[in-house]
């Protein structure tokens, strides 16, 4: 385990919480029409996925402990490499549905890897 693991986990947790917070109370049409909001959410998903990738590369046991992290990495790759084919409604549905479980698991894992 590298000394950067707690930071990667913390960055993933922060990004997941921000993405969820950005869309809280936002109607579908409001999200779809707001380029700045979509960009902000996508940026946090990019950070979430990259932080999860780095954490899992550092400590492979996290792949089993944080199964949702692999999905976050896949979504990050889709956003980065498929930027021109983004389906914003799917991104919105994903942020509403998936991060809560990852946030819960990241909270639990971070208790084992406190930030210094």
What Rg value do the Cα atoms of the chain yield, rounded?
14
DSSP designation for 83: G
pLDDT in tens, the chain (116 residues): 678 899 999 999 999 999 999 999 999 999 999 999 999 999 999 999 999 999 999 998 899 999 999 999 999 999 999 888 889 999 999 999 999 999 999 999 999 877 66
Q: What residues contact 65, with CB distance under 8 A and at least 6 apart? A: 105, 109
State CA 69 to chain mean position distance: 8
pTM: 0.92
Strand ranges, E, within 2-115: none
Q: Which domain holds residue 35?
A: 5-110
Residue 20: HSE in the Cβ half-sphere, 13 Å Cα cutoff: 16
**77 located within any domain:** yes
Count of structural domains within the chain: 1
- Whether 47 is in a domain gets the answer yes
């Amino acid at each position: 385990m590298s000394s950067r693991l707690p930071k990667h986990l913390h960055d993933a947790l922060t990004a997941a919480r921000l993405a969820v917070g950005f869309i809280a109370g936002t109607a579908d049409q409001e999200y779809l029409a707001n380029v700045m909001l979509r960009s902000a959410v996508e940026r946090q998903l990019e950070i979430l996925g990259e932080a999860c990738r780095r954490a899992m590369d550092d400590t492979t046991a996290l792949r089993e402990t944080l199964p949702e992290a692999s999905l976050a990495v896949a979504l990050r790759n889709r956003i980065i490499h498929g930027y021109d084919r983004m389906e914003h409604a799917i991104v919105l549905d994903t942020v509403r549905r998936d991060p809560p479980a990852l946030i819960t698991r990241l909270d639990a894992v971070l208790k084992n890897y406190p930030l210094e």
